[in-house]
Amino acid sequence: MRGFPVYRMDPSTDKTLRVGTILEFRKSRRSMNRIGLAKLAQKLFAQAPGDIIYLGSESALERAEGMRTLEASLSAG
Residue type at position 23: L
How many CA atoms, within 13 angstroms, populate the side-chain half-sphere of residue 28? Answer: 3
- pLDDT at position 57, please? 79
DSSP 68: H
| pLDDT value at residue 35 | 84
Q: Is the pLDDT of residue 66 over 60?
A: no
> pLDDT of 5-39, one tens digit each?
899 987 778 888 889 888 877 766 666 678 888 88
Tell me what the pLDDT averaged over the chain comes to.
Answer: 75
pLDDT digits (tens, 9 = 90+) for 39-55: 898 899 888 877 888 88
pLDDT for the residue 4: 85
